[in-house]
Each structure stands twice: as structure tokens, then as C-alpha cells.
């Protein structure tokens, strides 16, 4: 018997071992667990292996932590409001200086979360605000995302700036966001600077969005995810020791800011729809917490392969083809 914070009708018993539940801890403050079927967990682990490929031959396997994608996906499935950040101005002599993998990834994630009924916002550098607003407008016009999500900037104007950005009236019981995601976002190193892989300091192009992550770590109920392929991205401070030991120039460039979940993703192109689509796990739609207090209604974020039942898949409800066509062009610079 499972003790849960949500009442549900009795489920049909199954002898299929693939439908047996797994319980994973997705938060320490407060302590929360989430249920997921073994079959769904295996799909996500398969995807984690795919995105962990290392086409740049940097040796990113040294940064890999098993099940970070699974735990982050489960945590995001519980979230009601998600803040995404991106922007890595590594091409500091160009205008704009951004790498082109972060912004399309942020749009793809925003589209998926929006289709799942989450509130979504994107925060980026003030100097890149207009560019990201144009990207969002283009994505809406081409059917990549149903409606535009807010594109924000954050400026550190005082010691409580991050708290007021993350919380309604600075109240830790009223967070504006319950999950922060950094995807290919420049991360602050131990010396306070921001470095690209060639050890060039690009701090003059980067706003202190890291402060949102360090502040979120002090607020119960807000989880964070960092996604990167070099160890100098925001959130990858969780694997800082591995970055320092194994990545080129790692001791200098390693991000010092940790996320709850650090996902190593080296694959440079979007996955095909039948692999990358997201749908609930129908077997275990709710999580449980020792506190037994009500939490957000959830559905485990599965990543179904071809042939799976996709009736609740938001990317199949909302035609995925514009998304993947647009992403392919964005990633190839066309």
C-alpha cells in the first residue's frame, strides 16, 4: 500500500514488472519523492545516454551523473511555474555573441512545458533582451510555441534583488517559480568571472543570473537544473571537481554555482519527435511526501519511444513538426 497526499481510485493490479513503481527523492527541502514506472525510467535513461554523446570529444562523460535527467524530469512534472535561462556569449567579437544552441533549446523546453500546462518565463541578459524577444515572436509566428512567454532580465540592484525576483513580496512561502532551469547558460567561476572554453573572460557580457540559483538554494520548494556540455555552464558547479580534474582548462573555467540536478548533454542537434516528445506516465500520476501536505498535481514526465501510446502527449496534441523544423534550422544557422 502507498500512502499518498492525493486520493485516487484503485488501480488494476498488473503482473508486468515494467509497470512496477520506483520511488526517487527529488527534493531535500522539503523532503519529496516521486513515483515512476520502471518502463518510463528506462526510456528516460535511454534518452540520457543519447544526449550524453560527446561529438566535440571533450571528455564530457567524466561529468555524467546517473539519473539526473530522470530526477529533473520528475521534479519539473511537479512544478507549476518554471523559469528558464540561457545565453552564453562565447563569440565575444561578434554581434550577437551568443552560441546558437541555448536559445533554441530554451524555446523547445518552454513549448513543451507550456503544452503541459505550466507557467513559463525566460530570463536572459539585458543586452540580449531584444534579440530573445524577437526569437520568441518568430517561434510563435512559425507555430513552434502556442503563445509567447514572458522574456525578462535580472539586474542585481541590492542584497535582496534575487529574493524579490523569485518571491512574491519577498515571501518564501509564495514563490513565483518552483523550478529554475539553466540551459547552456554561462556560469560564474570561483574567482567571480565567466569564462568560455578558451579561458577568455566574458564577464562584461553576462548579467548575474547565477544569483537567482544561489538564492533559490536557500528557499525550500524551489528546485534547480543546469544543462551543459563543458562544465562552465550555470548549474554545473554540482560536478565542479570532475570539471576541474578532467575538462580542458577546467580548474579556471569550472562553474562554481551548483544546481540540484546537473545534466550533461553534448548532443548538438534536436532529437526526432518520437524520441524527444514528452508525455505523462499513466501508471503513477501522483507523488507522495512524508509531510502529507498537498503539493502540485503531477504526472511523471515520460519520454516515449516509437510505438508507445501517445494520447496525452502534448507534442502530438500540438503538431510537433514546426518545432523540430525550426530547431533544425536554428541549430544549423540557416
Q: What is the pLDDT of residue 318?
A: 45
| Share of residues in the chain with pLDDT > 90 (%) | 66
Q: What is the pLDDT of residue 9?
A: 63
How would you class 322 by CB atoms within 10 Å of its CB: exposed for 0-12, middle for 13-18, buried for 19 or more? middle
Domain count for the chain, please give it. 1
The reported pTM is: 0.81
Question: pLDDT band at residue 269, thresholds of 50, 70 and 90?
Answer: very low
Contact (Cβ atoms closer than 8 angstroms) between residue 161 and residue 167: no
With 50 as the cut, is the pLDDT of residue 274 above it?
Answer: no
In a domain, 278, yes or no: no
Range with the lowest mean pLDDT among 237-241, 248-252, 297-301, 311-315?
297-301
With 90 as the cut, is the pLDDT of residue 222 above it?
Answer: yes
With 80 as the cut, is the pLDDT of residue 317 above it?
Answer: no
In a domain, 26, yes or no: no
Kindly report, residue by residue over 143-187, the tens digit of the pLDDT. Answer: 999 999 999 999 999 989 999 999 999 899 999 999 999 999 999
Q: What is the mean pLDDT of the chain?
A: 82
User: 40 versus 324: which is more confidently predicted?
Assistant: 40
Question: pLDDT band at residue 16, thresholds of 50, 70 and 90?
Answer: confident
Q: What is the pLDDT of residue 56?
A: 81
User: 159 versus 253: which is more confidently predicted?
Assistant: 253
Question: pLDDT band at residue 19, thresholds of 50, 70 and 90?
Answer: confident
Grid-cell match 536572459, residue found? 124
**Can you tell me the distance from the alpha carbon of 233 to that of 265, in angstroms, rounded to the nearest whole number?**
11
In a domain, 224, yes or no: yes
Written as nine digits, the cell of 259 is 544546481
Written as nine digits, the cell of 327 is 530547431
In a domain, 217, yes or no: yes
For residue 331, the 8-state DSSP code is H
Query: Can you give the residue range of the structural domain that contains 239?
Result: 57-266
Contact (Cβ atoms closer than 8 angstroms) between residue 166 and residue 215: yes
Query: Long-range contacts made by residues 38-45, C-beta under 8 angstroms, separation at least 24?
Result: 40/281, 40/283, 40/300, 40/302, 40/303, 41/70, 42/18, 43/302, 43/303, 43/304, 43/305, 44/69, 44/70, 44/73, 44/301, 44/302, 44/303, 45/69, 45/70
Q: What is the pLDDT of residue 333?
A: 47
In a domain, 37, yes or no: no
Q: What is the pLDDT of residue 310?
A: 28
Residue 205's CATH number? 3.90.1640.20
Grid-cell match 541590492, residue found? 158
Question: pLDDT band at residue 278, thresholds of 50, 70 and 90?
Answer: very low
Written as nine digits, the cell of 112 is 513543451
With 50 as the cut, is the pLDDT of residue 276 above it?
Answer: no
With 60 as the cut, is the pLDDT of residue 263 above it?
Answer: yes
Q: What is the pLDDT of residue 266?
A: 86
In a domain, 142, yes or no: yes
In a domain, 9, yes or no: no
With 70 as the cut, is the pLDDT of residue 8 above it?
Answer: no
With 60 as the cut, is the pLDDT of residue 254 above it?
Answer: yes
Contact (Cβ atoms closer than 8 angstroms) between residue 22 and residue 35: yes
Kindly report, residue by residue over 323-334, the tens digit of the pLDDT. Answer: 556 555 654 443
The secondary element (H helix, E strand) that includes residue 103 is helix 102-115
In a domain, 201, yes or no: yes
Q: Whose CA is closest to 65, among 212, 213, 197, 237?
A: 237
Strands 119-124 and 32-37: unpaired
Amino acid at each position: 500500500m502507498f500512502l499518498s497526499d492525493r486520493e485516487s481510485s484503485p488501480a488494476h493490479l498488473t503482473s508486468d514488472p515494467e509497470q512496477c513503481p520506483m520511488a526517487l527523492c527529488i527534493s531535500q527541502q522539503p523532503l519529496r519523492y516521486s513515483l515512476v514506472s520502471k518502463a518510463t525510467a528506462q526510456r528516460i535513461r535511454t534518452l540520457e545516454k543519447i544526449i550524453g554523446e560527446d561529438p566535440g570529444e571533450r571528455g564530457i562523460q567524466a561529468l555524467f551523473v546517473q539519473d539526473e535527467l530522470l530526477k529533473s524530469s520528475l521534479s519539473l512534472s511537479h512544478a507549476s511555474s518554471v523559469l528558464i535561462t540561457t545565453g552564453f556569449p562565447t563569440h565575444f567579437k561578434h554581434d550577437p555573441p551568443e552560441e546558437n544552441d541555448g536559445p533554441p533549446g530554451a524555446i523547445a523546453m518552454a513549448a513543451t512545458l507550456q503544452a503541459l500546462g505550466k507557467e513559463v518565463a525566460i530570463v536572459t541578459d539585458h543586452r540580449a533582451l531584444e534579440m530573445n524577444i524577437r526569437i520568441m515572436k518568430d517561434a510563435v509566428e512559425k507555430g513552434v510555441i502556442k503563445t509567447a512567454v514572458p522574456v525578462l532580465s535580472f539586474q542585481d540592484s541590492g542584497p535582496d534583488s534575487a529574493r524579490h525576483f523569485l518571491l512574491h513580496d519577498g515571501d518564501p512561502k509564495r514563490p513565483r517559480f518552483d523550478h529554475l532551469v539553466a540551459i547552456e547558460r554561462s556560469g560564474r567561476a570561483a574567482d567571480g568571472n565567466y569564462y568560455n572554453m578558451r579561458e577568455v573572460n566574458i564577464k562584461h557580457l553576462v548579467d548575474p543570473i547565477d544569483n537567482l540559483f544561489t538564492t533559490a538554494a536557500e528557499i525550500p520548494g524551489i528546485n534547480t537544473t543546469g544543462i551543459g556540455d563543458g562544465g562552465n555552464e550555470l548549474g554545473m558547479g554540482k560536478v565542479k571537481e570532475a570539471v576541474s580534474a578532467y575538462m580542458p582548462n577546467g580548474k579556471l573555467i569550472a562553474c562554481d554555482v551548483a544546481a540540484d540536478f546537473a545534466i550533461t548533454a553534448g548532443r548538438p542537434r534536436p532529437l526526432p519527435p518520437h524520441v524527444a516528445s514528452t508525455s505523462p506516465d499513466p501508471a503513477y500520476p501522483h507523488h507522495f511526501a512524508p509531510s502529507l501536505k498537498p503539493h502540485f498535481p503531477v504526472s511523471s514526465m515520460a519520454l516515449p519511444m516509437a510505438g508507445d501510446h501517445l494520447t496525452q502527449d502534448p507534442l502530438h496534441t500540438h503538431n510537433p513538426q514546426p518545432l523540430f523544423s525550426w530547431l533544425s534550422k536554428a541549430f544549423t544557422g540557416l
